[in-house]
Chains A and B, each alone.
Chain A
Amino acid sequence: MKFESPATTNPIDQLKIVGQSVSRIDGPLKTTGTAPYAYERHDVVANQAYGYVVGSAIAKGRIKSIDLGAAKAAPGVLAIVTADNAGKLDKGRLNTAKLLGGPEIQHYHQAIAVVVAETFEQARAAAQLIRVDYAAEQGAFDLASLLDKAKPNPITAGPADTAVGDFAANFAAAPVRLDARYSTPDEAHAMMEPHATIAAWEGDKLTLWTSNQMIAWNKAEMAKILGMRAENVRLDSPFVGGGFGGKLFPRADALLAALGARAAKRPVKVALQRPLMFNNTTHRPATIQRIRIGATRDGKITAIGHESWSGDLPGGKADGAVAQTRLLYAGAHRMTATRLATLDLPEGNAMRAPGEATGMMALEIAVDEMAEKLGMDPIEFRILNDTQVDPEKPERPFSQRQLTECFRTGAERFGWSKRNPQPGRVRDGRWLVGIGAAAAFRNNLLTKSAARVRLDNGGIVTVETDMTDIGTGSYTIIAQTAAEMMGVPLEKVKVRLGDSAFPVSAGSGGQWGGNNSTAGVYAACVKLREAVAQKLGFNSAEAEFADGEVRSGNRRVPLAQAAADGGLSAEDEIEYGDLAKKYQQSTFGAHFVEVGVDAATAEIRVRRMLAVCAAGRILNPKTARSQVIGAMTMGVGAALMEELVVDKRTGFFVNHDLAAYEVPVHADIPHQEMFFLDETDPMSSPMKAKGVAELGICGVAAAVANAVYNATGVRVRDYPITLDKLLEQMPDVG
């Protein structure tokens, strides 16, 4: 099905099941520990051996020699694979660094060997006996020292640089100006489930039971890396314990399980041990950003400029921090620039709202600072500079844009009018109290997505697609979509996901999974409805599917009857025309945060949070809310504690476990509320839905930063905002 013109009324609009707060259909499996996660799939293949990954001890240089003698002789060892004996391996298209290093080392903890043994403990013990002699080289590890050497680099959202009007002249001429630098640190996905894979060979066919967000990409990638035909690779990833972008591309667990299984001639399972994950896999790269805003005295932005620097391994990608500034606020004269430096740190790559999250962390502090310079309320300043068209290409309107409504609704619900615009004035016992706000803004991305739907003679509708559920609720919204389309209750729908044998879906990434994968299911269901109507002798345009029946006029036939002589099946794909070119499709929100800052210690504690979002049709308010409050929590982490600390001498992330890389715990998040505005977006898909999962993180950290400023009068522009950055400027205590 090609989606080329705005959606009109369709069966989804009944909203009998879609749009309802349905609990996750996979919830019981998860709460009873019976959802099969990759490492625990003991039943899929017999005789599984265990692989343990060895990471490089240096960041850059070469392996002079590896002594495997003691490890090979250790109890239980079946095989050891290194670059020396792995055979020829290609590099994945989507990876910057090789998944198996040696003799050249590209980053710290790059995998250099996998030890396969009868038990996990034997593999680990043997791995620790491997002795490696390195020739280390000095690498580049300090982004701040490389700004002059950084080169323009395109970002996912477009070219490296954009310019409209004459930014320099108009900024210089603006009566009120802000010119400030911000920085965001390297951050880890730190998802609960580590990367894990069981690999088994049958002749030249490889099966990978794994944990992955993008099945089709990874099938192709694994085939490329191993020099195989794609049809000989199968991936199965029905449950994923979180990914946040860390499982978009193949990782060492999958490759080394495959190589280990080939060498040991039996199935092998590999999980990346937690202390290895932080340097071995990808991370959100650090940025340094400069934002300049010029405005008239009454608060109209006349010039806005955003530059961003990030670093990556040679051949890597830049963080797209400037992307949202291209679209968020009006202003006739504008510029953005993206520069990429070469670093020898682990590979930087996508993490939840890649670019958008980092850019909004800086931009939404800058806007708060600018409002203060203007003596304006920061929300009124934003509303004054709201736009209904793409500010770089005014001929492109937004399909829907309720930024102002989000702010107005949120301000009302949060009690924004009680905010004291003078910072450092509100006290509650030992706490200095402040509130802050920031815009949330993430684009809606369209990508094709296919599904197969089958009806059996018991009236059960089975959906199959290689879509993944990374904890988001894909199972549930797909079931809701099929139930609505086929007119059956939710219990009559079975959903099977994550298998590369199924039709290729959007996958989970870029907050595009929800809208695109359900639109693909919608397309397949439209086909199945036609097949059913034809089989039962209905005119498919008139037939109504409801309550397990097909009806037209006064004729009603049980749906199952269409499958009486064997199942009926239909497969289709949603594809998109150029609506996304003509209209800018985005999701919006407003974040509100109240913090307390301990007057003595400067410890920052969030007291309450609210997000109001407008993101198209909300397919399931319950699962969507979970996505948003999870993202808000992650935003608090980014604001207050998350930082991969770079050892700039030797080039690695020092705090590489969950004791040292802190993410929020329950005590950090006392009270969250979130609220969706009514919206349907007929430009997005027949579902009229958009993404919410990444919208929720965009802007949160800035709202926290602005609240900290409001509480203390101390402006911190370098994340994370930790007490040591406030202490010196805090008021004296007795």
Chain B
Amino acid sequence: MKSFTYERARNPAEAAASVLRKPDAKFIAGGTNLLDLMKLEIETPAHLIDVNGLALDKIEPTAEGGLRIGALVRNTDLAADSRVRRDYAVLSRALLAGASGQLRNKATTAGNLLQRTRCPYFYDTNQPCNKRRPGSGCAAIGGFSRQHAVVGGSEACIATHPSDMAVGMRALDATVETVRPDGATRAIPIAEFHHLPGSTPHVETALSPGELITAVTLPKPVGGTHIYRKVRDRASYAFALVSVAAIVQRDGTGRVALGGVAHKPWRIESADSQLPRGAKAVMAELLSGARPTRENAFKLSLAERTLGAVLTEAKG
């Protein structure tokens, strides 16, 4: 770990101003991802701005009938919120499928969105990794790639985004609200928030340097049956091989997002429209153009079978 300086920001403007002063700065929230990466010198911020003191820890109704989730709301609190459990159950279930109780107590909404990949080569600084060291190569291609992406990957990187929460949010059409160092705010649709790796796998989100996430908003509830199904080797405390977030209406229409298959929560609106025709039809569209490795080709049939089970469950 490189030594760093540290400050506690008291309001978003101060945090942003501080970032402008110190280009090597990073925000720290729960620290459950950032600190691990700093110990391994995968992240080497020279300055940390602790955002835990910003009053961004509330869940409030929006004028549009949705919910505004503060960037610092802990995963545990978000999953337990009665409005979330009633109207956005897929999010609650996705959160509870992630990490462990202790981690969820610390992990924040913003931090969860921004957690980095669990690719083991990314974690080993002796190994080539375009995401960690642009231009060094990708050790996962041709290596151990069982966990990796089957769709949307590139010659440069086949990592997945490991978040469960983000998959639920993608199914819910959430929006990420931010403030930039110059004070400008914007709202980024979750579909555009995470990037595909392309030739720049180190650029993971739409955030510009120093941009602070203040909240995530959920639109008005859409009803339906909410299911989050996470498939993994170990019963708990493991990242998804494949996960399915689904909202299914009585008439069989609905939405599907997948986790564990791509560099971002994976949803294609045109695939949603295939839902009434069943899992095979959805996957034909959702995973069209998939390029799995030999080790993770099973994820294609796994995703389809899992969605099939989810749709059966939704019919009740």
Contact = CB atoms under 8 A, between A and B. Distances in A.
A275 B139 CA distance: 18
Select the residue from A599, A650, A730 with max chain B CB neighbours within 10 A. Answer: A650
B305 A654 contact: no
Top 8 A-B residue pairs of the complex, sorted by shortest distance between their CB atoms:
A600-B309, A57-B126, A667-B235, A667-B236, A724-B298, A654-B144, A600-B305, A601-B231
A720 B235 CA distance: 15
A640 B41 contact: no
Interface string B177-201: 0000000000000000000000000
Contacts of B2: 125, 128
A427 interface: no
A640 B235 CA distance: 11
A640 B233 contact: yes
Contacts of B231: 601, 603, 723
Interface stretch (A148-156, A240-248, A658-666): A658-666
Interface stretch (B55-63, B69-77, B116-124): B116-124
Contact of B306 (A600, A650, A734): A600
Interface in A658-714: 659-660, 662, 664-668
B314 interface: no
Given A275-B123, A724-B298, A600 B308 contact: yes
Interface of A: 57, 75, 121, 124-125, 128, 275, 430, 598-603, 605, 640-641, 645, 647, 649-650, 654-657, 659-660, 662, 664-668, 720, 722-724, 727-728, 730, 733-734
Given A275-B123, A601-B231, 10 more contacts: A430-B309, A600-B305, A641-B234, A666-B236, A720-B233, A722-B233, A723-B233, A727-B298, A727-B301, A728-B298
A662 B238 contact: yes
Contacts of A727: 298, 301-302, 305
16 contacts: A124-B39, A600-B308, A601-B306, A603-B233, A654-B121, A655-B120, A655-B144, A656-B120, A660-B118, A662-B238, A665-B234, A666-B236, A724-B146, A728-B298, A728-B301, A730-B305
A602 B299 CA distance: 12
Contact of B1 (A124, A654, A666): A124
A57 B146 CA distance: 23
A655 B146 CA distance: 11
A121 B2 CA distance: 9
A647 B143 contact: yes
Given A128-B41, A656-B124, A665 B302 contact: no
A487 B105 CA distance: 52
A665 B235 contact: yes
B305 A649 contact: no
Interface of B: 1-3, 39-41, 118, 120-121, 123-124, 126-127, 139, 142-144, 146, 229, 231-239, 241, 298, 301-302, 305-306, 308-309, 312
A275 B305 contact: no
B299 to A, nearest CB: 8
A733 B307 CA distance: 11
B298 A654 contact: no
A699 to B, nearest CB: 22
A463 to B, nearest CB: 39
A100 to B, nearest CB: 18
Contact of A649 (B3, B143, B238): B143
Contacts of A598: 309
Nearest to A668: B235
B126 to A, nearest CB: 4
Given A655-B120, A659-B118, A724-B298, A733 B235 contact: no
Contacts of B233: 603, 640-641, 662, 720, 722-723
The prevalent SS among residues of A at the interface is loop
A730 B232 CA distance: 17
A162 to B, nearest CB: 37
B59 to A, nearest CB: 28
Nearest to A666: B236
A403 to B, nearest CB: 32
A657 B144 contact: no
Contacts of B124: 275, 654, 656
A733 B298 contact: no
A640 B238 CA distance: 13
B302 A601 contact: yes
Contact of B143 (A128, A641, A654): A654
Given A665-B234, A666-B236, A601 B305 contact: yes
Nearest to A655: B120
B160 to A, nearest CB: 13
Contact of A665 (B143, B236, B298): B236
B176 to A, nearest CB: 26
B103 to A, nearest CB: 11
Contacts of B237: 665, 667
A275 B125 CA distance: 11
Nearest to A132: B126
A507 to B, nearest CB: 33
Given A660-B118, A665-B236, A649 B142 contact: yes
Nearest to B311: A734
Contacts of A668: 234-236
Contacts of A723: 231, 233, 241, 298, 302
A647 B128 CA distance: 13
Nearest to B118: A659
A660 B123 CA distance: 10
Contacts of B234: 640-641, 662, 664-665, 667-668
B143 A603 contact: no
Contacts of B41: 128
Contact of A275 (B40, B143, B302): B40
A598 B123 CA distance: 32
Contacts of B139: 647, 650
A647 B146 CA distance: 12
Contacts of A659: 118, 239
Contacts of A645: 144, 146
B5 to A, nearest CB: 14
A223 B301 CA distance: 57
Contacts of A724: 146, 298, 302
A656 B233 CA distance: 17
A222 B286 CA distance: 60
B60 to A, nearest CB: 34
Contact of A121 (B1, B229, B298): B1
Select the residue from B2, B121, B235 with max chain A CB neighbours within 10 A. Answer: B235
A323 to B, nearest CB: 30
A599 B302 CA distance: 11
A474 B222 CA distance: 61
B124 to A, nearest CB: 7
A657 B39 contact: no
Contacts of A121: 1, 3
A660 B144 CA distance: 12
A656 B309 CA distance: 34
A657 B306 CA distance: 29
B91 to A, nearest CB: 22
B278 to A, nearest CB: 8
Nearest to A75: B3
A660 B232 CA distance: 12
Contact of B232 (A603, A647, A655, A720): A603
Contacts of A665: 234-237
B236 A734 contact: no
A662 B147 CA distance: 13
B120 A601 contact: no
B231 to A, nearest CB: 5
B236 A733 contact: no
A728 B235 CA distance: 21
A659 B36 CA distance: 12
A723 B306 CA distance: 12
A733 B144 contact: no
Nearest to A279: B124
A730 B301 CA distance: 11
Contacts of A734: 308, 312
B305 A733 contact: yes
